[in-house]
Amino acid sequence: MASDQENSQDANAPDDTSEKEITRGITIMKSIIRDRDKAVTYNVNWNADNQLIGSNAAKLASYIGTLVRMHIPITATRWSNKELGSAKDKIWTEILRSFNIEDTTIRKKYILQLAGKRHRGWRTFLTNKYLKDKEIFFVEYDPEYPVKYAIFITDEEWVAFVAQRRDENFKKVSATNRERASNPTYAYKKGRLGYARLEEKILDETKSDATSLPPHVLWKEARVGKDGTVRDDVQHIYDECETLSQSISTAEDQENRSVLSRALNVPEYPGRVRGKGHGCTPTSLYKNPRRRNPSNQEVMETLQALQAQVLQLQKDNERYRCMEKCSSQLKETSEKASINCQNKFPEGISSCQLYLSSPTYRLVGKGKVHNTSGDLLHHRPLPDGHLKVSVDVVLDKNALLPIPDIVSETTLLRDAIGSFVAWPLDLIYIDDETPTKPASKDEGILRHNESVASQKEVFAQGSQQLSQKIGSRQKNKRDLPVTSLPKKGAFVPRYQIPLETLVDSSDMATAGAIRLLDMEEDIFGYSCTETIGKEDLEHIFRHQELGVGVIHTYIRFLYDNFMRGNDQLSNRFRFVSSSLVNKALICREPDSCREYLVKRFMASSTNNLYLWPYNSGCHWLLLAIDPLKEVVYFLNSIDGEWTNYPDMKQLVDTSIKVFRSQRQARVPRTKSSNITWIKVQCPLQRNGIDCGYFVMRFMREIINMNQIEIPITYFDEYKCAHYTRLQLEQIKEELCQYFIEKRLISI
């Protein structure tokens, strides 16, 4: 503090070092030396945040500045240099001779850090006074030796110091720092007082029983001028801090950013607390140390341990449920023999296809169904609604068994190859099943009970009638290329009306009828089958809110018509399944969601942009994730912030960190927790139902631009405040055309 005061005094001195300047003398704190010789020592006080306060605080701070000038050469560029160890010990010894300081281990660190600040201030003072002109620019001539400070600086030290300061790299850094500090947004107005003594002054004036004040309170008071007025922008930040402090817990405040940092929208630097001044750390403020960031090895070990625990819990839970279910269904073999032979399947052994309905309806394997009277599974009766199945081929290596095998402790389908398992009746399809169209809608097999093979046959049989329904303009499929959009102007639906006619003329008019669309492994990282129901098509025709089936169908359209056969696009853009990662699953099964995202990120070693339509439960938005650059683009058609979706953000951040760990990437400590989120100023919807259509168009435009980086203000080619109804109808036309061309609807 003494150096600061002296700096301000020296700034008003004449430019030359004349006799008059030398007679002013220098600060060496002679009073402390005299009292030390008389064995007089000074008591110092510390506040609750371990900061120096009290009547002798300024005296100690000034004395530290004097000792620094005496023992630390001005050529020392780094305070952490080990060569300064002996000089620092001398400073600490001299301070203990004149000041009573308890808890020396803790206080020594504080004192020496303060000494480092004094040393930097001392070097800055010499630079500004002797090496720069009145306009704070470096002079070209050789500066004269500062005679006044000859007891502190030798001739050799001065020459070396001047050479250091005239280095071009230093000049660039100096200019940058000067520009940054020239016009602070919220200027500090308390001079040498400092936050600690300002807090002490406020507590004394208010006669408060509190031991400390919140950082945002001190921050505001430090920006009040002598007239006592508070600027509007300062008051606004203070009011926002007050609001945030009511909703953020102390633990959350500690682990992330303080309310002051949040209100200012700036990062919190490690080892310090904004608005509390020198010496206050997260440890002293929160009374418990911050947890350090775990190493990559520790993260992997923790992840493996958690995965093992989850797997064991799943096994135990399924084993308990299965045993409980089987015990309640135990009957005599003779009684069971009369009911476990199902009439809808051929008696004996038949080849079959095995399906699962969760999380998506999909074909997972092939095998043989054993439909025989009195058949047992591992000497136990079969559960109701199940048949005995032998597994021959697995198509989905991650598929779980509907009922885990409690004998062999098998939970995955791939581990059951060659053995027998119980499988639900409604998820077994005979290979040679070829149902025909029933005479009426009330008779025969519903479409959702048909096999995939039978559906393809029906689609082929109805191709001729399909062409008749659509009309002559459909004979040439290139009339409207899939990747082109209708021209501007009056819009007449070209495919929606024919598709709606087809739906009304097919079994899709019956409630509960569905169609299945195969999703290749390259699309979501696993092969599955998407289910399309009548209600999904009705949502398109009536322009209503869309479900995941429609969104995934459009993703398949983008893959087929833009990315298939185009290595550049297919290697640059990838998709995340909304069926495996959505709000419900994030809350219920966060580990499986994270595991899936990490697996998707690990699928490529090059820069990829992962497009993820995220359903928050009642709203669709789009995330575009670049996991290698650790950048997340946030596109929300209702202008909301990503902070409104904390579960989603935490999942993405955690997945990127685990991905970083698994690829053993080295990230600077300052960036280890700083994953970049960018809010893209995308077009906004003007009602409550268009979010799904906006997300589909976002994905189309991103792929069409073929850019990994999305501009904050969105692409110039597609920039607009709102999408028109025509632009949304174009997306619906592409969907309807895709349904027709894929022959998903037949008559």
Rg (CA), the chain: 37
Question: How much is the pLDDT for 747?
Answer: 54
Question: How much is the pLDDT for 626?
Answer: 93
Region 226-248 average pLDDT: 80
Question: How much is the pLDDT for 41?
Answer: 87
Highest mean pLDDT among 121-125, 160-164, 276-280, 693-697: 693-697
Residues forming beta bridges with residue 735, ordered by sequence position: none
Percent of the chain with pLDDT over 90: 14
CA distances from 304 to 18, 297, 415, 604, 704 (A): 74, 11, 21, 22, 40
Is the confidence at residue 267, as pLDDT, over 80?
no
CA distances from 554 to 67, 411, 550, 576 (A): 73, 33, 6, 13
Strand order in the sheet with 573-575: 573-575, 609-615, 620-626, 631-635, 676-679
Largest CA distance in the chain: 121
- CB-based burial of residue 35 (10 Å sphere; 0-12 exposed, 13-18 middle, 19+ buried)? middle
Highest mean pLDDT among 79-93, 101-115, 178-192, 258-272: 79-93
Q: How confident is the model at residue 146 (pLDDT cuts 50, 70, 90)?
A: confident
Region 683-709 average pLDDT: 92
Structure tokens at 266: 């700036």
The structure tokens 């926002």 sit at 240
Highest mean pLDDT among 59-68, 177-186, 338-347, 512-521: 59-68
Question: How much is the pLDDT for 682?
Answer: 94
The answer to whether the CB of 41 falls within 8 A of the CB of 98 is yes
Is the confidence at residue 254, as pLDDT, over 70?
no
Backbone dihedral angles phi then psi of residue 301, each to the nearest 5 degrees: -65, -45
686 vs 442: CA distance, rounded Å: 43
Percent of the chain with pLDDT over 70: 78
Question: How much is the pLDDT for 360?
Answer: 75
Q: How confident is the model at residue 250 (pLDDT cuts 50, 70, 90)?
A: low
Q: Which amino acid is at 143?
A: P
Q: Which residue, among 626, 532, 613, has the nearest Cα to 579 in the 3D structure? A: 613
Question: How much is the pLDDT for 598?
Answer: 92
Is the confidence at residue 585, as pLDDT, over 50?
yes
Residue 29 CB neighbours (<10 A): 19
Question: How much is the pLDDT for 723?
Answer: 92
Q: How confident is the model at residue 558 (pLDDT cuts 50, 70, 90)?
A: very high
Least confident of 319-328, 473-482, 715-724: 473-482
What's the number of CA atoms in the CB half-sphere (13 Å) around residue 546? 27
Q: How confident is the model at residue 700 (pLDDT cuts 50, 70, 90)?
A: very high
Is the confidence at residue 455, as pLDDT, over 70?
no
Report the mean per-residue pLDDT for the chain: 77
The answer to whether the CB of 21 falls within 8 A of the CB of 148 is yes
Region 678-698 average pLDDT: 92
| Better pLDDT: 76 or 25 | 76
Least confident of 158-162, 166-170, 280-284, 328-332: 328-332
| Better pLDDT: 299 or 162 | 162
Question: How much is the pLDDT for 437?
Answer: 32
Highest mean pLDDT among 288-302, 445-459, 573-587: 573-587
The dihedral of CA 11, 14, 17, 20: what is its sign?
negative
Question: How much is the pLDDT for 460?
Answer: 34
Question: How much is the pLDDT for 444?
Answer: 32
Region 585-611 average pLDDT: 87
- DSSP code at position 324: H
51 vs 677: CA distance, rounded Å: 36
457 vs 447: CA distance, rounded Å: 13
Residue range 313-336, pLDDT digits in tens:
776 676 666 555 544 544 443 344
Question: How much is the pLDDT for 451?
Answer: 34
Question: How much is the pLDDT for 445?
Answer: 30
716 vs 400: CA distance, rounded Å: 46
Q: How confident is the model at residue 595 (pLDDT cuts 50, 70, 90)?
A: very high
Question: How much is the pLDDT for 285?
Answer: 67
681 vs 712: CA distance, rounded Å: 6
525 vs 520: CA distance, rounded Å: 8
Is the confidence at residue 680, as pLDDT, over 90?
yes
Question: How much is the pLDDT for 491?
Answer: 58
Region 36-54 average pLDDT: 83
Is the confidence at residue 239, as pLDDT, over 60?
yes
Is the confidence at residue 683, as pLDDT, over 50?
yes
Question: How much is the pLDDT for 669?
Answer: 53
